[in-house]
Structure 1
Amino acid sequence: MPPKAAKPAPPLYDVGERVLCFHGPLLYEAKVLEIKNPGEPGASYSYKVHYKGWKSSWDEWVPQDRVLGWTDENLQKQKELREEHNPKKKQEKEKKTTQAEEPVVPTVRGQKRAREMDMDKEEDFIKRHEIKINVPEIVKSLLVDDWENVTKNGTLVKLPREITVNQFLADFVESTQHKYTGSQKEVYDEIISGLRSYFDKCLGTMLLYRFERDQYNEIKKQHPDTDMCDLYGTEHLLRLFVTMPELIAHTNMDTQAVNSLREHLDEIMMFISRNHEKYILSEYEQPSPSYNATSSP
């Protein structure tokens, strides 16, 4: 008789268990909602988690290496990471290492010194997760379809995209830049440039589903000197937009800058909702059998 196939080891965490989960550079309290069996010996489980205090729209499947047990040691690690990424702590450290005098904004009514605006209290830093971006219902449906296409149907966005992120942003700028002049135009251009930079930096670390990882590695090999903005399209850019509240929470942007960014993101969302048939694929491609053999949704 042939030997019995080895069974996967049991999962490290159980459904309903309280855990800590990495989201960006920080650890957050979460609860395990579902567990996905890897189906083969030596592979890791995946866990669907709900972050405490966050809406269910933030629930996500995460690999095992992003989940930590609820232990005193890991709780201490959570505290240390929070302190490390607290803008107030960073400002204090910079102040100690530089003897330069703090820049002062000319005082007018209701205006703070630049340093004071950056040094938010820790509770205010945490509350930045409450930053909300208006996502039209059409865009929400597109995001759900995107998730199902990749994680359930095992299909992929065909790359390189005919209409890339750079092309989409160029079209958006062409349709809206007439509304901005002077300093407003400078802020507008800076935000568009920042979105390109965020996308290139975040794609490989935050925006891909596991099933897309091999495709990402392959496209990088084929185009080693090309920015991701010139290879991927609006489908993946949408994922960046819904991640922006989390990214913003880890910056020391002042309220005025955050509001400006949010307004432009809302405008981009509406532009996509009006033109989604042009910029969003209606059908993803079926990968080759060899791809399916090495990857799993």
Structure 2
Amino acid sequence: MPPKCKFQEGEKVLCFHGPLIYEAKCLKSSITKEKQIKYFIHYAGWNKNWDEWVPESRVLKYNEANVQRQREVQRAHSTQQSAQKNKKGNTTTKAQGRRSEGGREKDTDSRASTPVSTADKSISRFNKSTNSTVTASSSHESTSEPTRKKRSRLEPSSETEEYLTKVEVKIKLPEELKFVLIDESEVILKHHKLPALPVQNTVDKILDDYVEMKSSGKTNDIRESTLEITKGIREYFNITLGLQLLYKWERPQFIQITNDNPDTLPSQLYGAFHLLRLFVRLGGMLSYTPLDERSIQLLLSHFHDFLQYLQKNNAELFNLQQDYTDPPPDYHRKYG
């Protein structure tokens, strides 16, 4: 029996494109040989040259809740962009330093058999793909004019159709960490606890500690590659937390704390439990990146190493009594 389409032809919808959500219209639908539903989308106010086929996971119902999500995505993206701009000066200085080495760097890049140079290129592409792929496994939007002007920079390449049909990348969680997520879900869904924000070991602290651990006594190349990997993980986390990583019970708390602290990133508030949830979703996100198989395998090896680090420090990082607390009395009344 063929799958049933959630959206009708001519229906007004919201659609992910890059890291943002846009108002759109569903022009037609199609079911692939693999019985996957796709929709041919027209973005409101845009030339038909932007029309494209997208998987159902990128399309959202046009309703008040999803419009609110669209605003949250825009806010998270703007905050992330501001943070990146603040670091731009340091990054530019480093890049100029590398360019000053001229021929020597070109020499290194030309040796494809050099593991470090190959890994660095893959990691760099992973980071660059963050903005164009945190999307396909979610749904939200933005209709402001300033955002639209930037859209050409977020537009995927002509390989869109190719990467939309890639097989999902599987990130295998250690068995011990799977039980961590099961225990956490019971605390939230059965006992109605909330994260004690900010937690003691935030995502930022965990990633920084991991970099220090990996860099201790190692070469600068190792430190740089680890920094790049953790930078990508941090960016994916900050953009996806409010979209895909929260239980319904947690969402009002997230909305309130981000409204009260608009300049504070999720990675400065949440900790290991929510970071682990990211790795459940991350494989699906990577399926929409234009990375080749070799690059994916290199990234998976880095993720596996990081997950082993989380498992090794399980007792310290995953503390339900420390990281979860009872909500305020009126929280139950409003959102229970």
Same structural fold, with TM-score higher than 0.5 when normalized by the shorter chain? yes
Q: 1:119 to 1:108 in 2, by over 3 A?
A: farther
Larger radius of gyration between Structure 1 and Structure 2: 1
Identify the structure with the greater helix proportion.
2
Deviations 1:249-288 (Å, cap 9, x if unpaired)?
A: 1111222322222111111111111111111122321212
Select the residue among 61, 75, 80 that pairs with 2:40.
80
Shift of 1:123: 7.2
Q: 1:224 to 1:119 in 2, by over 3 A?
A: closer
Aligned match of 2:129: none
Select the residue among 156, 165, 171 that pairs with 1:126.
165
What is the alpha-carbon distance in structure 1 between the residues aligned to residue 4 and residue 110 of structure 2? 47
| Aligned-residue CA RMSD (Å) | 3.7
Task: Indicate the SS of the match to 2:165.
Answer: helix
* Within-5 A mapping of 1:1-297: 18-20=3-5, 25=16, 74-75=29-30, 78-80=38-40, 84=53, 126-129=165-168, 131-178=169-216, 181=219, 183-283=221-321, 284-296=324-336
What is the alpha-carbon distance in structure 2 between the residues aligned to residue 188 and residue 139 of structure 1? 22
Q: Is the 8 A contact 1:128 1:248 kept in 2?
A: no
Q: State the TM-score, normalizing by the size of structure 2.
A: 0.54
Q: Is the 8 A contact 1:180 1:188 kept in 2?
A: no
Shift of 1:188: 2.5
Shift of 1:294: 1.7
Deviations 1:219-270 (Å, cap 9, x if unpaired)?
A: 1133221111111111111111111111101111222322222111111111
Task: Indicate the SS of the match to 1:236.
Answer: helix
Aligned match of 1:65: none
What is the alpha-carbon distance in structure 2 between the residues aligned to residue 151 and residue 142 of structure 1? 14
What is the alpha-carbon distance in structure 2 between the residues aligned to residue 206 and residue 179 of structure 1? 37
List gaps (5 residues or longer) in structure 2: 8-14, 18-26, 32-36, 42-50, 56-108, 119-156
Taking CA–CA contacts closer than 8 Å with sequence separation of 6 or more, which of the two structures ends up with the larger relative contact order? Answer: 2
Q: 1:124 to 1:221 in 2, by over 3 A?
A: closer
Percent identity reads 30
Q: 1:17 to 1:252 in 2, by over 3 A?
A: closer
Deviations 1:127-177 (Å, cap 9, x if unpaired)?
A: 431x22221111000111222222232111111111100001111111112
Q: 1:20 to 1:263 in 2, by over 3 A?
A: farther
List gaps (5 residues or longer) in structure 1: 1-15, 27-71, 87-104, 112-117
Task: Indicate the SS of the match to 1:78.
Answer: strand
Shift of 1:182: 5.6
Task: Indicate the SS of the match to 1:252.
Answer: coil
Q: State the TM-score, normalizing by the size of structure 1.
A: 0.60
What is the alpha-carbon distance in structure 1 between the residues aligned to residue 299 and residue 16 of structure 2? 22
What is the alpha-carbon distance in structure 2 between the residues aligned to residue 255 and residue 180 of structure 1? 28
